[in-house]
Copies of this chain bind each other. A is one copy, B any other.
């Protein structure tokens, strides 16, 4: 088969891949063992690219304007463009049923519910810490766009979100710890501790968690106090969890998008 084109967001360090939402698709492609090429797209190019390749908007602004986000893929084998990591996962399962399944059909409704619960538990605190840190990693072309959109959305300067050393930052970090506690509780709901959401095999729910954890690891750094905290929380559960993703973490060199 021809390689799938996988649209991801670059940083100023080649190979330093950070976007949690595109990581979900990268894990999906790697887990299924499908050939693909990464195409790097700076923030201001996401909407023009999406329109060009026919990727559906994934959200709406409060005023109704369609919003385009990555990941998106173009699969030359079926001439299909798909956006939104969960929709991509379902497309890949349907199109390549002989490869390992990301979302077993009997678990798809629960996966959708999981996604809501996951976001509600983690996002409010995580974004406050991760958006400013991510901004520092972006190339010049994305820098201004990212700052303007995020500062408008949250009504504050990136520098005020969660300054290093502030009480605010500590509170948000505590919130992240509590969210991971909640996930650990879900994973133990059946009375014994599971490593993955479906038990002993990885599914898309795990890729969602891993995508957001790897964001912390990549952007704050492996040696950061924060990442070292994560590895210790819940008796080292997340260290064991992330170890299982090592073999699905390959990043190709890719090419820059041409519009």
Interface residues in chain A, defined as those with a beta carbon under 8 Å from any beta carbon in chain B: 86, 90, 94, 103, 105-114, 116-118, 120-121, 182, 185-187, 189-191, 194, 197-199, 205
Contacts and interface: CB of A to CB of B under 8 A. Distances in A.
Given A94-B191, A189-B86, A117 B107 contact: no
B185 A112 contact: yes
Nearest to A183: B113
30 contacts: A86-B189, A90-B190, A90-B191, A103-B190, A105-B190, A105-B199, A106-B107, A106-B198, A108-B190, A108-B194, A109-B186, A109-B190, A109-B194, A109-B197, A109-B205, A110-B110, A110-B111, A110-B113, A110-B197, A110-B198, A111-B189, A112-B189, A113-B197, A114-B114, A114-B117, A116-B117, A116-B120, A116-B182, A116-B186, A120-B120
A189 B194 CA distance: 25
Contacts of A111: 110, 189
Contacts of A110: 107, 110-111, 113-114, 186, 197-198, 205
A189 B109 contact: yes
Contacts of A94: 191
A89 to B, nearest CB: 10
Contacts of A86: 189
Contacts of A198: 106-107, 109-110
B112 A186 contact: yes
A228 to B, nearest CB: 26
A109 B105 CA distance: 16
Given A86-B189, A90-B190, A94-B191, A118 B113 contact: yes
Q: Considering residues A107, A113, A118, A190, which has the most beta carbons from chain B within 10 angstroms of its beta carbon? A: A113
A106 B189 contact: no
